[in-house]
Structure 1
Amino acid sequence: MKRQEELLKETLNNGNKPKIYSHKVIWGFSIFFSSIFGGVLLMQNLRDIGKKKEANIVLSASVVYTIITFIVVNIPEKSISSLTMAFNFVGGYVLSEYFFKNYIHDAELYPRKKIWKPLIISIIITLPIIVTLIYALSIEE
């Protein structure tokens, strides 16, 4: 564990910084998928730069926030999609503007990761959920 941290510090000092997802990517994934998706990306950023404690805090916060969102959105008899988007927007804002900026002070110095891999994974996870919801709604009618 100590050796890994030393290697990471040496890599950062030599200018070979790990790639990270930008705060805009984290916000976008939070809005269009959910806060947990943005939280996982931010967690990965933090782990890549050696901030494992902060990564765990971010992941825990995004899981709790996603559960709260799910509960609040489903309180009304008919769920309101705009309420979900509002929660996702706020969650993404907190992840990208508070956690990201407080934990990654020199983000502009890191190269950017491409979004294709997490985008494909997010679609693969989300698509069956959407299909199931559409199917369930069609059965109710």
Structure 2
Amino acid sequence: MEDNLPKIYSKKTILGFSIFLSTLFGGVLLYQNLIDAKKKKEAYIVLGISILLTIITIAIVNIPEEPKSSLAYLCGLGGGSLLSYYFVPKYFPNEEEYPKKPIWKPLIIALIIVVIFVTLIVYGASIENG
């Protein structure tokens, strides 16, 4: 049976990416799992929920006068937990039987995106203060 199961990202990977990057990153990984498992409708539902949770996170983090990154991690933990402990078991009830994809590709993509954002923030701040 294991031979015809697609490789998927584990729920720990989805949770980790959600906490340390955003629920959107974790949602994209779960979206990819669902696409690979030929569950297109479910994939779009998960992607939509991930986008919504990310928008809510941005709103929550920016409510205080001084945004707190700890709120972003808490929202990531909440969103990642929803993805990992609700959606993964719902759509992959036998998740442990699936071969796992390595995390290197999404990790490299995430690092590139983070470097671009940090560079833009630093560059933007230097122009503002220049």
TM-score with structure 1 setting the length: 0.84
> Out of 53, 71, 74, which is 1:86 matched to?
74
Supply the AA of the counterpart residue of 1:122: A
Structure 1 pair 17–119 and aligned structure 2 pair: CA distance change class (3 A): same
- Unaligned runs of 5+ residues in structure 1 are 1-12
1:3-14 correspondence runs (5 A): none
> Out of 3, 9, 14, which is 1:21 matched to?
9
> Out of 18, 21, 45, which is 1:30 matched to?
18
Supply the AA of the counterpart residue of 2:66: K
* Alignment root-mean-square deviation, CA: 1.8
What is the Cα deviation at residue 98 of structure 1?
A: 0.6
Structure 1 pair 28–58 and aligned structure 2 pair: CA distance change class (3 A): same
Supply the AA of the counterpart residue of 2:101: K
Match of 1:66 in 2: 54
TM-score with structure 2 setting the length: 0.90
Distance 2:38 2:111 in 1: 28
Tell me the matched-pair count. 129
Supply the AA of the counterpart residue of 2:36: D
Distance 2:18 2:122 in 1: 22
Deviations for 1:10-50, whole angstroms, at most 9, x for unmatched residues? xxx68322100000000000011100000000000011111
Instruction: Confirm or deny that 1:113 pairs with 2:94.
Output: no
Structure with greater Cα Rg: 1
- Unaligned runs of 5+ residues in structure 2 are none
Distance 2:124 2:19 in 1: 24
Distance 1:18 1:76 in 2: 43
What is the Cα deviation at residue 132 of structure 1?
A: 2.8
Match of 2:32 in 1: 44
User: Does the 8 Å CA contact 2:2/2:98 hold for their aligned counterparts?
Assistant: no
